[in-house]
Amino acid sequence: MKILANDGISQSGIDALTNDGFEVITTKVAQEQLINYINEHQITGLLVRSATKVRKDIIDACESLKIIGRGGVGMDNIDVQYARDKGLHVINTPAASSSSVAELVFGHLFSGVRFLHDSNRNMPLEGDSRFKELKKSYAKGVELRGKTLGIIGFGRIGQATAKMALGLGMNVIATDKFIDKATVSVDFFNGQSIAIEIETEAMESVLKNADFITLHVPAQKEYIIGKKEIELMKQGAAIVNASRGGTIDEVALIDALESKKLSFAGLDVFENEPTPAIKVLMNPYVSLTPHIGAATNEAQDRIGLELASQINTLLKG
């Protein structure tokens, strides 16, 4: 059976699938040529990340397809219910990338509180001519320890982020549409761990009391953070978004950064991917990454192995 990993797959995933007797194809087929390619090569499994879209047209036209796999969490690029109604298996790897995304959130937080994103833009240009001025302009950093992190969406990644925050000595508050409380276990390298129960609270109270807000919700139809929500936040607070573009109103965000209501933002996801707004990209108070939350070797290994194991069970088990 042939598996087309159209957005790539880790070597560990390829090895596991090959060992199980599958042929893995890693050619990147353009979206408009996918139907032809799948039919011509009689592909059984189509694996994607977020780039390839698997809509009704592909599901209807490709009879050889038995399984669609998403390496990662959000399946908004796949017509999941439609595929399942037609008898296809649709799988993803929900837990594999949580720690990697959580670490990136802290990358943005550390960057924001010490101006690393801006310093990295200006040091190459002026580090040798205006060292003292730059030193002064980046002098008023703050520590994360002792501050309050507000987590919106307290699922897998929200809780993984909470662990890191607790480990750093931060206070954690959270809100979630469905989860009332969660026990977060902070694990140390020597096997010791500390379990802390966190009860979620109303969104409004999280917005009002957090020094930093981080979003970990699925794709939404409407903004979660717009002008009204930003107004509720503390003066000088900051926001990180490594969930999905479209959860924050970027126009309201840029206005809030320009008026100094917010001190910085860390963005891994954008309303208009893959062509984010220039106003967002050019803003000196935004720490930027191009949707790389799950892009670590460790997460990709876990994703590849998890997909391989599910495919083997579903198609051969």
* Residue 273 designated active-site: yes
Site for ligand NAD contains 109 (CB under 6 A): no
Choose one: 84-92, 237-245, 253-261, 272-280; the region binding ligand NAD (CB under 6 A).
237-245
Q: Look up residue 133 and give its amino acid.
A: E
Name which position in 155, 246, 276, 304 contacts ligand NAD (CB under 6 A).
155
Applying CB under 6 A, does 240 fall inside the site for ligand NAD? no
Q: Which residues pair with 287 in a beta bridge?
A: 266
Nearer Cβ to ligand NAD (6/243):
243
The Cα 209–Cα 186 span in angstroms is 23
**Is 308:13 a contact under the CB 8 Å cutoff?**
yes
Taking CB under 6 A as the rule, does residue 101 contact ligand NAD?
yes
When binding is defined by CB under 6 A, the residue of 48, 102, 149, 269 that contacts ligand NAD is 269
Binding residue for ligand NAD, selected from 13, 69, 112, 158, defined by CB under 6 A: 158
The question of whether 244 is a catalytic residue gets the answer yes
- In the bound state with ligand NAD, the residue whose beta carbon lies nearer, of 44 and 159, is 159
Quote the CA–CA distance of 19 and 23 in Å, as a whole number: 9
CA nearest to 239, candidates 138, 167, 312, 150: 150
**Is residue 243 involved in binding ligand NAD (CB under 6 A)?**
yes
Residue 287 lies near ligand NAD (rule: CB under 6 A): no
Under a CB-based contact definition with an 8 Å cutoff, are residues 52 and 77 in contact? Answer: yes
Nearest CA among 64, 109, 70 for reference residue 87: 64
Q: Which range, of 6-14, 71-79, 139-147, 248-256, touches ligand NAD by CB under 6 A?
A: 71-79
Q: Is residue 200 involved in binding ligand NAD (CB under 6 A)?
A: no
Residues 278, 280, 284, 288: is their CA dihedral positive or negative?
negative
Decide: is 177 part of the binding site for ligand NAD (CB under 6 A).
Answer: yes
Among 35-43, 124-132, 174-182, 185-193, the segment contacting ligand NAD (CB under 6 A):
174-182
d(CA 211, CA 252): 18
SS3 (DSSP) at 50: coil
- DSSP assignment of 80-97 equals HHHHHHTT-EEEE-TTTT
Phi then psi for 213, rounded to 5 degrees? -110, 140
Query: What is the total count of residues that contact ligand NAD (CB under 6 A)?
Result: 33
Catalytic residue IDs: 244, 273, 291
* Binding residues for ligand NAD (CB under 6 A): 72-74, 94, 97-98, 101, 152-158, 175-179, 216-220, 224, 242-244, 268-269, 291, 293-294
